[in-house]
Homo-oligomer: A and B are copies of this chain.
Amino acid sequence: MRRIDRSRVVFEYSSTSPPCAHVQPGEIVVVETQWAYGDHPVQEGDRLSDLDTSRCDPLTGPLFVEGATPGDTLAVHILAIDLVGQGGQGIIPGLGVLPWDDLPVAMFTPRDGAIEWLRGIRIPIRPNLGCIGVAPAGDAIPSIWPGDHGGNTDNRYCCPGSIVYFPVFHEGALLVMGDCHQMQGDGELCGVAPETASDVTLRCEVIKGEAIQRPRILAESRFMTVASAQTLEEAVRLATADFIDVLVTEKGFTPDEAYLMTAVEAHAEICQVVDPLMTARVAMDRAFFEAL
């Protein structure tokens, strides 16, 4: 299986980043990612307040997906995420939802599917990619930003078993990823979950001639639309409109039926509230969705 080395990183989602590899639709590749701290030599007990955030969230890639052209949809099947090395969690003042001083970093080693967190608390591994996205329609976007290109959505459903759909804005889509967490709660409330390097096994497919505006995810047990905006309220509005569009286009609902359905069996949820834009999703149980 082809491996994309974790030294091949960029720090932005950009149509001008030269591809580090060309992949075929259906080809299984392993993408190695660095942890969110990049090449900062972060160790147990270090403080994160001096971190240069322009060198955080290094993104492995871009992968040029053969055959993907503007107006298509890129489907990224996340087959597995293997954690590499230790994870580190601290506080970056000003990043989380509450004002807080910096805290010395604590390091956690995965063992038997879990970490021993602080206080000896055992927490099962649930890896997710905080960052995964394509080259955006317009100017380059720094790695720590989410948007219509995906990016730093910190969505815990960017995880093994999920198919993540992206709009294709440029030839080859130019897929990048990083910022893996050992586990992360919705919101990523203190701004930093246990950050880790990882090996991501994935397969890309191209859906020709089907355009979407923003990311969607078919996870093992849920389907969702995902949107980022200045406020959570606006992100919810965008994700709701996208969800209605799915029900109308794919399920034959009228727009009125689709809007009524959003208050019945769809859930507005928070991906993260700590990045430069807020990210929300509207999600539905997958079995219910597929039976519609």
Contact = CB atoms under 8 A, between A and B. Distances in A.
Interface of A: 89, 91, 96-98, 100, 103, 106, 117-119, 121, 123, 183-194, 231-233, 236-237, 240-241, 244, 253, 256-257, 259-270, 273, 278, 280, 282, 292
Contacts of A100: 259
Given A97-B237, A259-B98, A119 B253 contact: yes
B273 A268 contact: yes
A121 B292 contact: yes
Q: How many copies does the complex hold?
A: 2
A270 B236 contact: yes
Nearest to A154: B263
Given A236-B187, A257-B118, A273-B236, A193 B264 contact: yes
A234 to B, nearest CB: 9
Contacts of A237: 97-98
A189 B262 contact: yes
B91 A189 contact: no
Contacts of A103: 256, 260
A148 B253 CA distance: 38
A218 to B, nearest CB: 19
Contact of A193 (B121, B263, B269): B263
Contacts of A184: 263-264
B263 A189 contact: yes
A266 B189 contact: yes
B269 A269 contact: yes
A261 B270 CA distance: 17
Contacts of A256: 91, 103
A11 to B, nearest CB: 23
Contacts of A278: 233
Given A236-B189, A236-B273, A265-B183, A260 B121 contact: no
A168 B196 CA distance: 45
Contacts of A244: 98
A97 to B, nearest CB: 5
A115 to B, nearest CB: 9
Given A189-B240, A231-B231, A232-B233, 7 more contacts: A89-B260, A121-B292, A185-B262, A185-B265, A187-B236, A189-B236, A269-B269
Contacts of A89: 260, 263-264
Contacts of A261: 117-118
A253 B117 CA distance: 13
A226 to B, nearest CB: 14
Given A98-B241, A232-B233, A263 B118 contact: no
